[in-house]
């Protein structure tokens, strides 16, 4: 009986979590993003680079804040950190660098309500603060939002 209750609680929590996730893909940068509900004032962003060797498993984590929200478009920004946890096995620092994202999410298409088009500009500095670049991303996302 105890196992059944645990399974039911897990299924209930899982359904509510999936109901707040936005999954995106940036094809030119080969990145997958997973966000909490992007319509909230604050949301979390996690990006994972794909098409890499396992030893080069770069990830980005950042909290975001919606500066302006409307029915069709959100303007947001957020500070973040780029990491590679696999570096710890080679006695290298896991921190790659730091960034600021400035983004726009266009949403609420007439026929496909959960589709979002994403555009981001992201100044990036390496961990020593002696180099960096201005990154730009364009991608699509699907909101699993109730």
81-99: per-residue pLDDT in tens? 999 988 888 888 999 999 9
The two structure tokens encoding residue 101: 């994202």
Helices H / strands E in the chain, number of each: 1, 8
Low-confidence ranges of the chain (pLDDT < 50): 8, 11-17
Q: Is residue 133 part of a domain?
A: yes
Question: Is 51 contained in some domain?
Answer: yes
pLDDT (0 to 100) of residue 11: 47
Report the predicted TM-score, pTM, of the whole model to 2 decimal places. 0.82
d(CA 121, CA 110): 27
Whole-number Å distance between alpha carbons of 44 and 98: 16
Cα–Cα–Cα angle for 17, 100, 67, rounded to 5 degrees:
65
Instruction: Give the pLDDT of residue 3.
Output: 53
Number of domains into which the chain is organized: 1
**Cβ-contact 86, 54 below 8 angstroms:** yes
Q: Is residue 66 part of a domain?
A: yes
3 within domain boundaries: no
CA 4 to chain CA centroid, Å, is 34
The reported pLDDT for the residue numbered 15 is: 46
Please report whether residue 13 resides in a domain: no
């Amino acid at each position: 009986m105890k196992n059944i209750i645990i399974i039911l609680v897990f299924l209930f929590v899982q359904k509510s979590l999936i109901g707040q996730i936005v999954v995106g893909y940036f094809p030119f940068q080969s990145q997958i993003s997973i966000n909490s509900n992007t319509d909230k004032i604050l949301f979390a962003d996690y990006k994972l680079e794909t098409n890499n060797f396992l030893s080069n498993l770069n990830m980005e984590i950042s909290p975001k804040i919606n500066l302006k929200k409307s029915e069709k478009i959100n303007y947001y920004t957020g500070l973040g950190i780029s990491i590679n946890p696999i570096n710890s096995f080679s006695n290298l620092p896991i921190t790659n660098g730091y960034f600021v994202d400035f983004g726009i999410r266009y949403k609420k298409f007439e026929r496909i309500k959960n589709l979002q088009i994403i555009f981001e500009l992201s100044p990036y500095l390496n961990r020593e603060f002696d180099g960096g670049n201005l990154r730009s991303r364009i991608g699509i996302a699907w909101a699993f939002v109730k």
